């Protein structure tokens, strides 16, 4: 078992890039990652690539060979898909590949292109991450699903539905992810859901219109880093992946995400750290309630205390435990299949001290990344540490 280092990261800016093909942006991100890493692309032995909905958004499956060509690497290239946790799973497997000694250098990350679909088709496309037979056909969209989770949370722990933040629900023009139209008790027909999305009733997803994104990580073994005299101080010391039932109706508790609980436990155990050791976190806050649940799953706040952690300032940029110094998923537009990789890329820079927001965590040594798919039916947690 070797130590796994993040040798370098490369990102393209979040946004719509109508004038460039995905493969071109990918090539740019790869170039940046190789430059940052100081690693020759000839040394790459595997490409692990996350993408969620390319079949729908780009009429392009089988993207791994395409991205290998774009990145200029000649190696086995594999696509991983776990909805919004696609890139997280790709990185997890890359870490395992290096740790097992099957490769010294792996290029890992994700890409998602969504801006070439109309907004209502994006909503429809994202819905393939839910259970088509038992959720989507009953009218469930992702804002609807997370609204159910938020309601369950407020019912279980209070402090929400009647609290100051929840009032935003009555103010549809105000920014906030609870601003959703609840699914009627009898559900809605799928065509109805499509129309509703088109009218903007599932409002948070509108902001997904801005999210072309590719990010790449170069992961190397400690031996390779030493042999090549790389400046790669950040190590991936623990990973955990867990899977839950896909449909919300099959879960014991809508306000908990046990897949993330267990993935965090596994990652902490592998790293030999505890939640109390964590200095900084990037979490999957596709909706505000998702951040609350993530903070609790990671053990950074007690059950039912996730909202208080934010409200009391613990997890703000100047708090003791900053969460999402990168701006989080909503700030990025959440390019679904790429998000998990960008978390680790940004966390690496935060821990290295060369992220624009590194100043908030000057002495951070332990970071954790939490990436979720669907309504957390898939969860991947990575622990990153500044190595000696």
Question: At its nearest, how many Å lie between a copy of itself and the CB of residue 363?
Answer: 33
Catalytic site residues?
84, 334
Taking the least distance from each CB to a copy of itself, the nearer of 53 and 325 is 53
The C-alpha atoms of residue 227 and residue 355 are separated, in whole angstroms, by 27
Name the minimum Å distance from CB 74 to a copy of itself: 8
Q: What is the CA radius of gyration of the chain?
A: 20
How far apart, in Å, are the Cα atoms of 346 and each of 43, 352, 358? 24, 10, 10
Residue 214 backbone class (left: φ over 0; alpha: ψ -120 to 50; beta: rest): beta
Examine residue 374 and tell whether it contacts a copy of itself (CB under 8 A): yes
Q: Are 384 and 369 in contact (CB under 8 A)?
A: yes
Give 257 or 324: the residue with its C-beta nearer to a copy of itself.
257
Does residue number 221 form part of the binding site for a copy of itself (CB under 8 A)? no
Stretch that binds a copy of itself, among 158-166, 237-245, 302-310, 320-328 (CB under 8 A): 237-245
How far is it, in rounded angstroms, from Cα 134 to Cα 299? 31
CA dihedral 332, 267, 301, 275 (to 10 degrees): -120
Residue 2 vs 357, nearer CB to a copy of itself: 2
Asked if residue 144 binds a copy of itself (CB under 8 A), the reply is no
Ordered strands of the 280-282 beta sheet: 46-50, 105-112, 213-221, 4-11, 234-243, 378-386, 366-373, 280-282
Q: DSSP H helical segments within 232-271, as ranges?
A: 258-271
- What's the closest the beta carbon of residue 73 comes to a copy of itself, in angstroms? 9
Whether 86 contacts 52, CB under 8 Å:
yes
- Confirm or reject binding of residue 245 to a copy of itself (CB under 8 A): yes
Is there binding between residue 132 and a copy of itself (CB under 8 A)?
A: yes
Residue that is written with structure tokens 């998000």 in the block: 339
The residue within the footprint of a copy of itself, chosen from 9, 27, 373, 382 (CB under 8 A), is 373
Assess 269 for contact with a copy of itself (CB under 8 A). no
State which of residues 6, 68, 323, 383 lies at the interface with a copy of itself (CB under 8 A). 68
For binding to a copy of itself (CB under 8 A), which residues are involved?
21, 47, 52-56, 58-62, 64-66, 68-69, 74-83, 89, 93, 96-97, 99-102, 125, 127-133, 136, 241-246, 250, 373-374, 377-378
């Amino acid at each position: 078992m070797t130590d796994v280092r993040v040798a370098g990261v490369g990102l393209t800016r979040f946004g719509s890039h109508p004038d460039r093909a995905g493969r071109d942006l990918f090539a740019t991100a790869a170039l940046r990652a190789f430059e940052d890493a100081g690693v020759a692309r000839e040394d790459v032995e595997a490409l692990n690539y996350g993408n969620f909905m390319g079949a729908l958004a780009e009429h392009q499956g089988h993207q791994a060979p395409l991205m290998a060509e774009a990145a200029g690497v000649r190696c086995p290239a594999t696509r991983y898909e776990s909805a919004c946790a696609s890139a997280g799973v790709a990185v997890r497997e890359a870490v395992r590949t290096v740790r097992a000694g099957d490769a010294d250098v792996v290029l890992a990350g994700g890409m998602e292109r969504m801006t070439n679909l109309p907004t209502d088709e994006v909503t429809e496309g994202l819905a393939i991450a839910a259970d088509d037979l038992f959720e989507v056909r009953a009218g469930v969209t992702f804002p609807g699903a997370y609204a159910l989770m938020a309601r369950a949370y407020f019912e279980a722990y209070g402090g929400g539905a009647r609290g100051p933040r929840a009032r935003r629900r009555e103010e549809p023009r105000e920014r906030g992810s609870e601003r959703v139209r609840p699914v009627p008790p009898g559900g809605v027909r799928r065509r109805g859901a499509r129309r509703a999305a088109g009218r903007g009733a599932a409002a948070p997803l509108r902001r997904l219109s801005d999210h072309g994104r590719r990010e790449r990580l170069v992961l190397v073994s400690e031996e390779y880093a030493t042999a090549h005299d790389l400046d790669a101080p950040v190590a991936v010391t623990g990973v955990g992946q867990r899977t839950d039932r896909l449909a919300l109706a099959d879960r014991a508790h809508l306000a908990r995400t046990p897949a993330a609980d267990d993935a965090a436990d596994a990652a902490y155990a592998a790293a030999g750290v505890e939640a109390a050791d964590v200095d900084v976190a990037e979490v999957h806050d596709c909706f505000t309630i998702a951040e609350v649940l993530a903070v609790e799953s990671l053990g950074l706040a007690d059950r039912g205390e996730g909202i208080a952690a934010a409200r009391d300032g613990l997890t703000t940029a100047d708090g003791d435990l900053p969460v999402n110094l990168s701006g989080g998923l909503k700030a990025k537009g959440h390019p679904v299949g790429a998000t998990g990789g960008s978390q680790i890329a940004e966390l690496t820079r935060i821990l290295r001290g060369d992220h624009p927001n590194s100043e908030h965590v000057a002495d951070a040594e332990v970071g954790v990344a939490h990436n979720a798919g669907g309504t957390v039916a898939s969860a991947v947690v990575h622990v990153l540490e500044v190595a000696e």
